[in-house]
Amino acid sequence: MSAAVRTPARAPILPMLVRQTWAEFLKLWRVPAFSATSLLLPVVFYAFIGLGQAAQPLFRGSHITFGAYFLASMAVYAVANVMIFSFGISVANERGMKMDLLMRATPLPPLVYLLSRCITAIFFAALTLAVLFPFAYIAGGVRLDASEWFTLAYRVLLGSIPFIALGFAIGYLAGPNSTIAVINLIYLPTAFASGLFFPKQLLPQIIQNISPYLPLYRFGQLGWDAIGAPTSENITTDWLYLAGYGVAFFAIAAWAYRREESRKFS
């Protein structure tokens, strides 16, 4: 009688996900250039730009202060910054160090690896809000209802998902040595043109005409609406725009990933 052939049991997914997420978190946390910058840069921007006029009304007759407006802007900026930089730079660096070859040789499922990175990025984004919100409350005198604080937090975390895909796309399209320059060239001008640093009405007219088509502008609208600031369109429209950008960014990221895979493993 022949013995039955036994196949090795597949490792449980959840413990693998927990361990890999913890490893990804430690990897980013131990890089001060990322962790310290992600946590402190929005606070620095708020201190330099927002504090001096935090108590002033956003516009004549408005009950929304500039401090509250700029809090929403920096929340959007900080979260999108974490998503793009954590994925874009780390993916590009790991490609350069051939870490993707090593990960492919391990039994770790690709989906677990991807989910662990997404969870880590969202956790880091939540940490930036946990630093920014108290600073705006204490130093900037921003006073919002509990529901407004909650709405602002969950909207910027949920709305950041398309920027995860954008980070992946940049990470697979740009080289390890050029990724930071590419991200800064794309992200900083887009942030300014979207009204994250100054209200759209104060920007040149040509920029005002372009800004409604920028993903960061639509993302910013979610934050500004959460604190009661006037927005140009219905919030549902902004969610639909972000969903469309998300589909496009994920498609580009998937194409770039498959191109990388075919180059190295086919």
Which residues, 6 or more positions from 86, have their beta carbon under 8 angstroms from its beta carbon? 28, 34, 38, 117, 120, 121, 124, 167
Per-residue pLDDT band at 5 (split at 50, 70, 90): very low
- How high is the pLDDT of residue 194? 93
- How high is the pLDDT of residue 265? 65
- How high is the pLDDT of residue 224? 94
Residue bearing the bigger pLDDT, 109 or 101: 109
Mean pLDDT of the chain: 86
CA–CA dist 237, 130 (Å, integer): 28
Helix (H, G, I), strand (E, B) or coil at 132: helix
Can you read off the two tokens belonging to residue 76?
């959007």
Per-residue pLDDT band at 225 (split at 50, 70, 90): very high
Provide, rounded to the nearest whole percent, the portion of the chain with pLDDT above 90: 42
Q: Is the pTM of this model over 0.95?
A: no
- How high is the pLDDT of residue 7? 40
- How high is the pLDDT of residue 61? 65
Which residues, 6 or more positions from 132, have their beta carbon under 8 angstroms from its beta carbon? 42, 43, 46, 71, 74, 75, 78
The per-residue pLDDT for range 191-213, each reduced to its tens digit, is 999 999 988 888 899 999 999 99
Residue 69: CB atoms within 10 A of its CB come to 26
The per-residue pLDDT for range 107-127, each reduced to its tens digit, is 778 788 888 888 988 999 999
- How high is the pLDDT of residue 188? 87
Q: What mean pLDDT comes out for the span 158-171?
A: 90
- How high is the pLDDT of residue 11? 59
Are 149 and 133 in contact by the 8 Å Cβ rule? The answer is yes
Distances, alpha carbon 23 to alpha carbons 30, 97, 111, 244, 252, in Å: 11, 18, 16, 32, 27
The per-residue pLDDT for range 226-252, each reduced to its tens digit, is 998 888 888 999 999 999 999 999 999
pLDDT of 219 over the 80 cut: yes
